[in-house]
Amino acid sequence: MYVTYRQIQEAADKYGYPPVIQMVAPIDREEFEFIRSTQTYGRAHDVTMFIFKGQELLVIAKHDYPEGLYRPPSGAIKPEESLAEGALREAYEETGCKIELTRYILQVNVNFTDGRGVIPWKSHVFTGRYLCGDPHPIDTREIREVVLARLDEFEKYKEIIRSKTTSGGLNYRARLHDEVLRLL
């Protein structure tokens, strides 16, 4: 794991000490192998940003998402970055916008499991504030679209996940969003 406890402590000192929760996330073998493939340098984390532009949030859709499904941007911190630096970079790559982090709102320790193996993971969740930029994906290889959404639209996204996908990873995202929405 290249996100160290020191980096987490530095982020908490600056942006607040988040509650830490535990989850288990069942996924299929294909998703398990995909997560394993992202573990370059021992990666076992993501940073997720709930970025407010007024009363709305910047949300993204990946190319393989069903029509109408969006979620907050997220991604990996690079080995040489702090949590904040990586969050700002990922936000820009996925949304085309400059942001300011405002709060370290949640840390989730999740075990992804396919029934045969377990991948321990941490999701570091921040809130942020839009500063400038035209919302559009910079990383068009990964992101299809950026839109603004109201908080109440997350219920619609959960319904799309339940009815149009079998993704354990997206179901984990829906559970993560529920936890964050309780804290906002």
Domain residue spans in the chain?
5-183
Assigned token pair, 93: 């790559």
CB–CB of 23/108 below 8 Å?
yes
Give the up-direction half-sphere exposure of residue 170: CA atoms within 13 A in the CB hemisphere.
20
Q: What's the CA gap between 173 and 171, in Å, rounded?
A: 5
What DSSP character marks residue 73? -
Is the Cβ–Cβ distance between 142 and 62 less than 8 Å?
yes
Q: Is the overall model pTM greater than 0.75, yes or no?
A: yes
Q: How many CB atoms lie within 10 A of CB 13?
A: 10
Question: Which tokens belong to 112?
Answer: 């992804």
CATH homologous superfamily of 5-183 equals Nucleoside Triphosphate Pyrophosphohydrolase (3.90.79.10)
The three-class DSSP label of residue 133 is: coil
What does the pLDDT profile of the chain (184 residues) look like in tens digits? Answer: 689 999 999 999 999 999 999 999 999 999 999 999 999 999 999 999 999 999 999 999 999 999 999 999 999 999 999 999 999 999 999 999 999 999 999 999 999 999 999 999 999 999 999 999 999 999 999 999 999 999 999 999 999 999 999 999 999 999 999 999 999 9
